[in-house]
Structure 1
Amino acid sequence: MADAGSSKRKPKGPGLEGDPLGNLVMTEIGIIAQLSGTLFESVLPDGMTRAQYGVLNHLLRMEQDRTIGELANSFQVRQPTMSSTVRKLEDKGLVELKHDPEDRRIRRVAITEAGRAARQAGLAALGPLYAELMEHMSEEELKAILPTLTKMRELLDERRPE
């Protein structure tokens, strides 16, 4: 008798018949996030985690240093969790903690040149995955869904619990 967990049968869709459309969409996004995150982490260099890559990417995207509290809020994790992630990045020389020039009691997380390089190495490692994706979805398809995904992210971000 086969183990139920090892079954290769594919589900019919992201939900059950009669589920609201919103549930189907959010379930599909959740599944995609889990699958892509696991695959993404499997190719990151030097034992880097998704969380660590995410912090590096966030610091570059925001174009400013952030406090651990601000990072924790952005990633919707508890401050001790973010402190641990930042400490590991600091140990690797990928970020540094700097005193805020306005208030020396505040320390801000700043990405280092090594952190920029590590983020670029992560991006390069993802190249083959992106190339494979492009074999199955055209550039036009991906460009077409991006505005909808961005709009959904913005709507969800506005409703995040504080």
Structure 2
Amino acid sequence: MSETGPSAYFRLFNEIGIIEQLSRTMFEARLPPGFVVAQFSVLNHLVRTSDGRTPLALARAFQVPKTSMTHSLAVLERADLIEFRPNPKDGRSKLVHITDKGRQFREDAIAALAPDIARISQSISLDHVAALLPGLTALREVLDADRDRPEPD
């Protein structure tokens, strides 16, 4: 029997949460020592969206405290994966830019997943993955929009 209503949505989010935990652990095992997925995610975000975001904008995008984002950015800066540049619109703030080394780090991290992806592809076909992506993208877009919506009073 298929689930309906709220229980189906809960099951969906539960499965996503479990997948997130398992995939994060798998990915972190492939990252160089001293790096975690949160830091990779900042690099990935800068490549996917655009360079030149303030630390506060990044913290909001990831829905984390500014102090957590500041820590991730410090790790990335020490490794020369990002750099801070003056904000031309606001002299008091800085903008985060990914470096060439940061772009290469991202590409190398993705490439390091090749053995895991090869193993997973033995059980889940590319056609199945392609069929899942539109629904997951739609869900992410709804959640992205909700993130930016003001809280109800």
TM-score under structure 2 length normalisation: 0.89
Counterpart CA distance in 2 for 1:149 and 1:19 is: 18
Counterpart CA distance in 1 for 2:134 and 2:32 is: 30
Q: Select the residue among 26, 34, 37 that pairs with 1:50.
A: 37
Unaligned 5+ runs, structure 1: 1-17
Who is 1:151 aligned against? Answer: 138
The amino acid across from 2:24 in the alignment is G
Q: Deviations over 1:64-93 (max 9, x none)?
A: 211100110111100011001001100111
Unaligned 5+ runs, structure 2: none
The amino acid across from 1:67 in the alignment is T
Q: Select the residue among 39, 56, 61 that pairs with 1:74.
A: 61
Who is 1:123 aligned against? Answer: 110
Tell me which structure has the larger Cα radius of gyration: 1
Counterpart CA distance in 2 for 1:158 and 1:124 is: 31
Counterpart CA distance in 2 for 1:29 and 1:52 is: 21
Q: Deviations over 1:11-55 (max 9, x none)?
A: xxxxxxx97111111111111111111111111124321011000
Residues 19/60 of structure 1: CA separation in 2 closer, same or farther (3 Å cut): closer
Report if aligned partners of 2:51, 2:98 keep a CA contact under 8 Å in 1.
no
Fraction of identical pairs, as percent: 41
Counterpart CA distance in 1 for 2:17 and 2:36 is: 19
Report if aligned partners of 1:44, 1:126 keep a CA contact under 8 Å in 2.
no
Matched residues, number: 146
Runs of 4+ that moved beyond 3 A: none
Shift of 1:116: 0.7
- How large is the Cα RMSD of the aligned pairs? 1.7
